Amino acid sequence: MKAYQLQCFVYGAVDSNVALCFRYDERDYGIAAHMIKSLDVKTVKLMTNNPKKIDGLTRYGVKVTGRIPLIIPPNVHNVNYLKTKKDKSGHMLDEAFPKEGPGGSE
């Protein structure tokens, strides 16, 4: 709860966790991988923008054969959140923030 309070009023998501002496992302994909294997699923296509989820499952032996991007158009309410996810957490959000072509600004 403290991380959420800091996230809303002081820092962003990444910096709030670090300020509380947590790693920026405390998730462990071992249980998810175990569930996938228990269901005898051989491969998965993952709906995510987070490359760390793909890496996390792969490290536990889950064969990720593809990624389905979650396309979330930026708006006045989420643009800073999405930019933080892209810039600080490496989320794959090129669909939301396409690079400008020749003559455009970046």
Catalytic annotation, pick one of 27, 28, 59, 94? 27
Active site residue 67: no
> Contact at 8 Å (CB) between 96 and 72?
yes
Catalytic annotation, pick one of 15, 23, 25, 94? 25
> Contact at 8 Å (CB) between 54 and 36?
no
How far is 6 from 52, CA to CA, in rounded Å? 23
Active site residue 25: yes
How far is 8 from 64, CA to CA, in rounded Å? 34
Retrieve residue 20's tokens: 């509380």
Q: At what angle do helices 30-38 and 51-59 cross, to 10 degrees?
A: 60
Active site residues: 25, 27
